[in-house]
Amino acid sequence: MTFTGEQIVLSVVYVAVAFFLGKVVAFILNRIKHLSTKTTTTLDDEIVRSIEKPIVIAAVMIGIYFAIINLFPDFIIFGYDAEIIYWIIGIFVATFLVARVISTLLNWYMHKISKEQKTVDHQILPIMQKIIMIIAIIIAVIISLHMLGVNVTPAAAGLGLGGLVFALALQDSLGNLFSGIHIMSDKTLKVKDYISLENGKEGWIEEIGWRTMKIRTKTDEIIIIPNSVLAKQVAVNHSLPTASTRLTIRVGVAYDSDIKLVEKLLLDAAKSCKDIEKDPVPSVKLIDFGDSALVYELDVWTKNYPEYRDIMGEVRTKALELFRANKVNIPFPIRTIYMKQSDYTKQD
């Protein structure tokens, strides 16, 4: 096959323009990258970096395609013309671009979570990146086969069935994974927070992973809870919205007690405990007229919630000492029983 001078020159121009276009695109992306460094987030920098190579490749491919068409108007590979082959290559480049962007977003989010949570499971990141790439390649292959005229319906159905079987086999793992993502994105639970669960377990959060959460109890035991199980429970975070937690202590005193004195003694008992916060200030209120006692509630706040039992015990002990020293009685429940005398008892 012979080529005219015009064809050769035009093809060289196409290739030269393609490489020039690639350089221009690279220059523009570098300028955008430079501007993105001035923003507060690193996400835009990483996205520009991830799309740079695929876009430059696409720009060069356009010029090469026109050069080939110019030299070989009837260019055929395996029975398919150049346009089909070009579009298939373009699909794979576009797929590569999308996969890189998704991987970049995932990588950025993981680093962001790492800074906030301090302790996260990093092993899942490369696994998810590989899964994303495999899914992208499968989609590109199916689209390419469809463009080549291959019936992809059975293959798509097989992939759908295989995906269903895969999802059922990994139902628990996927449930833990998505629950972990929800917990991390919700940001209501963080490492070092003290929480109590619906099942009675409580402790400090040591690690929030993609599959499990680890909680350290007061006895230094590590409780490992699957994220899917945790997501179905009611969890109380005693570190939110502030580190201070209210404790309520209920006490009953005799009806003949000096109510002002009782309130003063309860507040003095609260102030004597070093773990009780001064702001908000402790408060006392008469809440009920009991069967045999005036019922008071003492509300106090502490930042040391894990030791709340010891704190409440200390306040109760001090209150009892002050009550005894000031002759304030804590009455026992009293029941008066009236017995009706029967006729048989009267005769006796």
> What does 159-188 look like in DSSP terms, one character per residue?
HHHHHHHHHHHTHHHHHHHHHHHHHHHH-S
Same domain, 70 and 216: no
The whole-number pLDDT of residue 200 equals 83
pLDDT for the residue numbered 163: 60
Which regions of the chain are under pLDDT 50?
119
Let me know whether 119 and 70 are in one domain.
Answer: yes
Domain match, 197 and 295 both = no
Asked if residue 84 is part of any domain, the answer here is yes
Q: Do residue 231 and residue 249 come from a single domain?
A: no
Specify if 339 maps to a domain: no
pLDDT, residue 119, reads 47
Question: Are residues 60 and 194 part of one domain?
Answer: no
Number of domains composing the chain: 3
Give yes or no: residues 283 and 137 share one domain: no
Does residue 215 form part of some domain? yes
**What's the CATH number where 209 sits?**
2.30.30.60
Question: What pLDDT is stored for residue 164 in this prediction?
Answer: 61
Encoded amino acid at 118, one letter? K
What are the tens digits of pLDDT across the range 320-343? 999 999 999 988 876 667 676 665
In a domain, 342, yes or no: no
State whether 104 and 160 are in the same domain.
yes
Do 113 and 41 share a structural domain?
Answer: yes
- Residue 341 in domain: no
Residues 231 and 104 in one domain: no
| CA 24 – CA 45 distance, rounded (Å) | 19
Pairing of strands 222-226, 245-253: unpaired
Same domain, 199 and 116: no
Full residue range of the structural domain in which residue 203 is found: 189-237
Whole-angstrom distance, CA of residue 287 vs CA of residue 253: 12
